[in-house]
Amino acid sequence: MTDTTLTLGYSPCPNDTFIFNALIHGLVPCDGITFNERLEDVETLNRLAMDGALDLTKISYHALGHLRDRYVLLHSGGALGRGCGPLLVAKQPCSIEQLRDKTILIPGELTTAHLLLQLHGEGFKQVKSLPFDQIIPALDRDEADAGVIIHESRFTYQQQGLHQVLDLGQWWEQLTGRTLCPTASRCCGPIYP
């Protein structure tokens, strides 16, 4: 058997590093397969997947819709479920209607967070993409009116004096009766070509 090296992309958020730790550190037998890891924010990973630059990668579920002809969803490794979807936050309390035609930071155009914002309604066209970990600091510098946050920042945003405008995950679950992940009951994961 010949040795094979695969490129593996995932984000530096804690749940991703936990998910891929055993694979990257050789704790799972892979019989001749080694991995070159690439740590990037989720939108960079989405774009790399669009270019076919990675063998295996974590991507957004939104991006998966654009990549199903080139990648396959694995049965494990996902970190999406009930009660942990993206949040729309602002520096001042406001309604979502007050944010129409305002600048909103998003963690990437192909992220599920951006898709949910667009599905919520029209008027959210002035978006600016930033890596997920730069959204709260940019709001602190008044670079936008609001931001859609993901990962651990959804649990710490109040410490920065921000206010929740809308829990986009909760909105989706109430609207559809489903989680953001169509196969959450069996746990979703990264994809590979």
CATH number listed for the domain at residues 87-176: 3.40.190.10
> In CATH, what is the architecture of 4-80+182-192?
3-Layer(aba) Sandwich (3.40)
- Residues 22 and 28 sit within 8 Å (Cβ to Cβ): yes
Task: Rounding to the nearest 10 degrees, give the CA dihedral for residues 137, 38, 128, 178.
Answer: -100
For residue 157, the one-letter residue type is Y
In the chain, ranges of CATH 3.40.190.10 domains:
4-80+182-192, 87-176
- Residues 193 and 55 sit within 8 Å (Cβ to Cβ): yes
Catalytic option among 25, 62, 151, 163: 151
The predicted-structure confidence for 13-33, as pLDDT tens digits, reads as follows 887 888 888 888 889 888 889
Cβ count within 10 A of residue 192: 16
Q: Determine the Cα–Cα distance for residues 142 and 153; give it in Å rounded to an integer.
A: 18
77 has pLDDT over 90: no
- The reply to whether 151 belongs to the active site is yes
What is the separation, in whole angstroms, between the first and last Cα of the chain?
Answer: 21
- Residues 45 and 107 sit within 8 Å (Cβ to Cβ): no
Residue 1 DSSP code: -
Three-state secondary structure string covering 29-85: CCCCEEEEEEECCHHHHHHHHHCCCCCEECCCHHHHHHHCCCCEECCCCCCCCCCCC
The predicted model scores a pTM of 0.81
The predicted-structure confidence for 149-190, as pLDDT tens digits, reads as follows 987 888 899 999 999 999 998 998 888 877 655 444 333 444
The predicted-structure confidence for 92-112, as pLDDT tens digits, reads as follows 999 999 998 899 999 999 999
Helices 112-120 and 168-176 pack at an angle, to 10 degrees, of 60
